[in-house]
Structure 1
């Protein structure tokens, strides 16, 4: 029987592989997933038990300067020191680092770090992920979050339930990324993201009756144009960056074309995105077997990165016309500038003077399953 290794992983984890984290880094990518943020009762119990064990086991065998570096980075966000349940050696390319584990996630019979701080042997903190409560934050972080919450939702931050802190720098799996992100959520499924201490994004979940009729109509028309027929009502969320129009995100879980996502801009009712998720590269990767994971992933990687720009533009022009009634024939095409050699170069950017740019995403077969239009 063929066991699908990646089916247990989140979309965020698979996206990290596409971005170039590779199979070594995929378990770390789980930390950023919504599934990790909303741990099951079993996972939570496991984490508590592990924490209690860590308080007595100690980390006397670990370089205390590295522990100090990890705690110093945590102190930039929270008031009190955080308990590490254990320390593990991990690899960053050819270099070793120490991963200080705060909590773990259990997948079947295996466990992997969830909350953690990863420190190189020179004391450089390259990655941090922590889930905590508002009251545990330090005053500086609280002040930044209070301001962002008020700006985004025009309410105070008293109903915040969970806060997730993620820091990474460019040396972490050579992603080229360097940022500090804080996400806060409340019981109403509203969330606010801060990037570098400032409001970056606000989002929330909506009931279907809360969505304007014109927006629902535009989404239904886009779905029909793509040849999809939905069964049941879609899930709807909203999101927007500061000073930008709100975007409504529709997820149709069951259609004759599998899961379909449609993005509509408020007031203009403009289609900003459409994706046939069951034809995506993420779907291709989710079918990789445990027995031959590396071999099959390498084959997909070679396929995706082997297409010429001319081949991709020809396919995109045809599929954008069919899916979105969008003519890309007069647009210039360019592959995105990827930061990692291990990335899957599965997107093409189309530009035309006086028109919004369009990004198309293709799978291992060279089929463009989705397009995003610049807002």
Structure 2
């Protein structure tokens, strides 16, 4: 069967589509939303556990990898190509539940499903490997454990964990692998992202084998008072009043300053996200999530999902740069007390398949700023470069 990727999707899938990952094989959003990437390994591990349970119960019916139901009529070279790519990350062959036809732009591909996610009465691939008819693996997503990794990947993870936390990686519980090799995906050609998380809410991200990011979840008492104060002031400036304490995560690039990510789940303006840099207490980002494009897309109806989704994309991509800059200048001043009037503006149009819902502002001698807007042309969030 062919996938219908215009049905109502999860927030993560929507975020990936907005980023330009396309409408096929979207498994994980990578730096897609206005709030910078923050680690939530506990939630990810729970989702992975559920997927793994589903995978195991169905895969037990297979005699060995490549002999599961739905693969009898699949070209063996495509199965071999999928298994060869998986072997670059794990030691043993992986059982496939089935194979489905998928569209990669104008090209047809085969999606080998490892596990599925149930959404209402329908299921969608969760872990999978997508292979073009010529045998090129273009997309892979796998959730696995540290012990199932091959020695090469383990060595890279061990080094990254030591670099990030100055301790060994013995506590890693779940590992998520995402690979793409097509310009159809926003991550592009020969791209590999490996995320590993432990039971202490810490994680690392490796891009093409090297540490790119580390982070984790914090308890309220672990957040410095000055950081808490800066976040509260930013929230107030945006006209939001919080009910209860925020969820706080941290993250940082190698040799970079730590950033604290606050998520205020309940405010008079809905969910609000605030990013604050350590030591400087500088505001690096603010987003009114209930006014985001993700929110717009999550509200499309099941009956007319494709039509409504396309209408939103056309509206978003149809705004002119001058119109957007005028709105951004006004909203950045109101939300962040940030004057963008003398910044140069450039529309971010990096992928034909994406929603071009961001504008990049630059000024000599000043950090770059990226603004994110919704279907109404309202800038709900801004990120400031470190």
Instruction: Classify the TM-score, shorter chain.
Output: over 0.9
Q: Does 1:226 align with 2:223?
A: no
Structure 2, unpaired ranges of 5+: 31-39
Higher relative contact order structure (alpha carbons within 8 Å, sequence separation ≥ 6): 2
The Cα shift of 1:316 comes to 0.7
SS at match of 2:118: strand
SS at match of 2:60: helix
The Cα shift of 1:137 comes to 0.8
The Cα shift of 1:101 comes to 1.3
Q: 1:195/1:175 Cα in 2 relative to 1: closer, same or farther (>3 Å)?
A: closer
Contact 1:20 1:344 in 2 (8 A): yes
1:96-145 deviation per Cα after TM superposition (whole angstroms, max 9, x unaligned): 11111111112222222111111111110001111111111111111111
Counterpart Cα distance in 2 of 1:182 and 1:170: 18
The Cα shift of 1:71 comes to 1.1
The match for 1:10 is 10
Q: Does 1:38 align with 2:28?
A: no
Contact 1:6 1:288 in 2 (8 A): no
Return the match for 1:29 from 26, 30, 36: 26
Contact 1:10 1:30 in 2 (8 A): no
The match for 1:316 is 328
The match for 1:202 is 214
The Cα shift of 1:305 comes to 1.2
Counterpart Cα distance in 2 of 1:43 and 1:285: 25
1:275-294 deviation per Cα after TM superposition (whole angstroms, max 9, x unaligned): 00001111111111111112
Residue correspondence of structure 1 range 231-310 to structure 2 within 5 A: 231-310=243-322
Q: Does 1:141 align with 2:153?
A: yes
Residue correspondence of structure 1 range 30-69 to structure 2 within 5 A: 30=27, 38-39=46-47, 43-55=51-63, 58=68, 59-69=71-81
The Cα shift of 1:54 comes to 3.1
Counterpart Cα distance in 2 of 1:7 and 1:208: 38
Q: Which has the higher helix share?
A: 1
Counterpart Cα distance in 2 of 1:7 and 1:268: 44
Structure 1, unpaired ranges of 5+: none
Return the match for 1:108 from 101, 107, 120: 120
SS at match of 2:47: coil
1:67-98 deviation per Cα after TM superposition (whole angstroms, max 9, x unaligned): 11111111111111111122112111221111
SS at match of 1:54: coil
Q: 1:173/1:193 Cα in 2 relative to 1: closer, same or farther (>3 Å)?
A: closer
Contact 2:7 2:305 in 1 (8 A): no
The match for 1:187 is 199
Q: Does 1:347 align with 2:364?
A: no
1:177-223 deviation per Cα after TM superposition (whole angstroms, max 9, x unaligned): 54111110000111001111110100100001000000000000000
Counterpart Cα distance in 2 of 1:173 and 1:267: 37
SS at match of 1:48: helix
